[in-house]
Amino acid sequence: MGQLCDVCTRSETDNNQSPDEFRKISKNSKNDELVRFFMAGLGSAGKSTIIRQLQYLCSINSNYKMCNEDWIPIQKREVDSITWQRTIRRNILDLFDIFIKQAHIDGETLANKALTVFAKSIEDACQEKEDSIDFIEINEDFRRKLIELFNDNAIKNVLKKKNKISIDGKTIFDGCDYFLTEEKIREIFSDDYEPSDKDKVHSRNPTVDMHTYRFKLNETRIEICDVGGQKAERMKITDYLKNWSFASTERDRNFILLVVSMSDYNVPHPQYQGTLLDECVEYMKVLLNNSVAQKCGLFIFFNKKDRFKEKLEDDECRADIKYLKRYLTERQVTEYQTAGRFKSNDMSKAIASKFVDALDELNQRRKNTYCRYTCAVDSKMMEGIFGAIKDEIINEQLLSIFP
């Protein structure tokens, strides 16, 4: 089982066409081979962040190019700036809503009545529909009160233990730390705010339906089909796979790319016994039992490496060994009981072993599965990972997780 982890240590142009029109292969292409990824995972695993990271890399690295359906490179993606502005502002207000609710749970009190009234107005707005932000008057008074709220001791105390926050129906997205500074909050709610590529990479914008993205890494053509990870979207996975397979040709190299949130290892499932990581394991089994997926290679991105390590090292968020104990050695458990925490590598291997056990049940996967530990919001890490995968695919040197 440990071999999986040994391998791991190595380091929009949105398309709303019908499925049969998702892709055209350019007749004039010098390289007819196409590497295709069907990217799946639970909601909030970081799939869309991976796409936005590739788009960002296209703007800073001349070896990365976004392409249209004819594989002609296109300039920086034209995105409705107002839509992104609204999305990111909503992200920030949702964060404040979570922090306010957690402060109530912890018995924290805001500094004064005026601030309490302002906090309640944010809670009310976040309970409404997505467009409720349009009805908030964002002016200098709003910005002043928001910064005052951010600096209030009650909110500061919540932020000290944000990894332990658990609010029904509300989650903290993995790129939130990037936005949680006074300077950034002022910028986002300024009158002339224009979201940057890095802002988009760190934001939360769930995928709905199925969307195809095309990139060239040097001359390697890579196509990624991103499907939503919410429960309603996962129920459509069979149809999505069928539509994706229809667009394939004999020369294509097809892979399933499963994105797993490592930080879900000890998050209790809201409906069933076990954790969100356990649900991802079960989702992988369903996905790989599909006849289309059985003909594809499999990549697993164990994502949110940063949030995972943060949870292990935070004194307020000690690891809960009951969820991974069967995958840890007696020595590792003893070390935890002595030091009060696990080593990151030990816990990473334990998480990966859950998936190895599941893959053991699918014999056809044994020689066709590869993985990486990733942090989708880290541009340098993702650039290295994409480059390594591209080189290995070209040279057919991908390593199996099994001997």
In the sheet that holds 369-373, the strands lie side by side as 64-66, 210-217, 220-227, 35-40, 253-261, 297-303, 369-373
Q: Tell me the pLDDT tens digit for each residue of 294-347.
A: 888 888 999 888 877 777 776 655 667 777 878 888 888 887 777 666 778 888
For Cα atoms 303, 282, 352, give the angle at the middle one, nearest 5 degrees: 40
Write the single-letter amino acid at 339.
Answer: A
| For residue 365, pLDDT beyond 80 | no
Q: Is the pTM of this model over 0.85?
A: no
Beta-strand pair 253-261/297-303? parallel
Q: Looking at residue 16, what is its pLDDT? A: 45
47 marked as part of a ligand binding site: no
Q: What is the mean pLDDT of residues 59-78?
A: 82
Q: Looking at residue 143, what is its pLDDT? A: 93
Name the percent of the chain lying above pLDDT 70: 81
229 marked as part of a ligand binding site: yes
228 marked as part of a ligand binding site: yes
Q: Which of 327, 326, 401 is nearest to 360 (CA)?
A: 401
Class of 3-77+207-395 in CATH: alpha beta
Q: Tell me the pLDDT tens digit for each residue of 83-93.
A: 888 889 999 99
Q: What share of the chain is helix, strand, coil (3-state, %, to 5)?
A: 50, 15, 35
Q: Looking at residue 142, what is its pLDDT? A: 93
**Can you tell me the distance from the alpha carbon of 101 to that of 119, in angstroms, rounded to the nearest whole number?**
10
169 marked as part of a ligand binding site: no
Tell me the average pLDDT of the chain.
Answer: 80
**387 against 99, higher pLDDT:** 99
Which SS3 state, helix, strand or coil, does residue 200 take? Answer: helix
One of 1.10.3470.10, 3.30.1330.60, 1.10.400.10, 2.70.70.10 is the CATH number of 81-201, namely: 1.10.400.10
**Can you tell me the distance from the alpha carbon of 154 to that of 103, in angstroms, rounded to the nearest whole number?**
6
Q: What is the mean pLDDT of residues 234-257?
A: 89
| For residue 13, pLDDT beyond 50 | no
The angle, 0 to 180 degrees and rounded to 10, between the axes of the packed helices 379-395 and 47-60 is 90
Confidence of residue 395 (pLDDT cuts 50, 70, 90): low
| For residue 21, pLDDT beyond 60 | no
Confirm if 168 and 270 have CB atoms less than 8 A apart.
Answer: yes
Sign of torsion, CA 260 311 341 269? negative
395 marked as part of a ligand binding site: no
107 marked as part of a ligand binding site: no
Please report which residue ranges of 21-139 form alpha helices under DSSP H. Answer: 47-60, 81-105, 113-127
Query: How many CB atoms neighbour CB 26 within 10 A?
Result: 14
304 marked as part of a ligand binding site: yes
Domain chopping of the chain, boundaries? 3-77+207-395, 81-201
First to last CA, the chain: 10
Q: What is the mean pLDDT of residues 191-216?
A: 85
Q: Of 1-5, 227-231, 337-341, which has the strongest mean pLDDT?
A: 227-231
Q: Looking at residue 92, what is its pLDDT? A: 93
**396 against 139, higher pLDDT:** 139
Ranges 245-254, 271-280, 369-378: which has the least confidence: 369-378
Find how far residue 261's CA is from the centre of its chain.
7
Q: Which of 332, 318, 81 is nearest to 196 (CA)?
A: 81
Q: Looking at residue 2, what is its pLDDT? A: 33
Query: How many CB atoms neighbour CB 40 within 10 A?
Result: 25
**Phi, psi angle pair for 263, to nearest 5°:** -70, -5
| For residue 403, pLDDT beyond 60 | no
305 marked as part of a ligand binding site: yes
**Can you tell me the distance from the alpha carbon of 352 to that of 354, in angstroms, rounded to the nearest whole number?**
5
Please count the residues of the chain.
403
306 marked as part of a ligand binding site: yes
Q: What is the mean pLDDT of residues 346-355?
A: 88
Q: Tell me the pLDDT tens digit for each residue of 68-77.
A: 888 998 865 5
Confirm if 213 and 54 have CB atoms less than 8 A apart.
Answer: yes
For Cα atoms 250, 256, 262, give the angle at the middle one, nearest 5 degrees: 165
376 marked as part of a ligand binding site: yes
Q: Which residues pair with 176 in a beta bridge?
A: none
| For residue 284, pLDDT beyond 90 | yes
226 marked as part of a ligand binding site: yes
102 marked as part of a ligand binding site: no
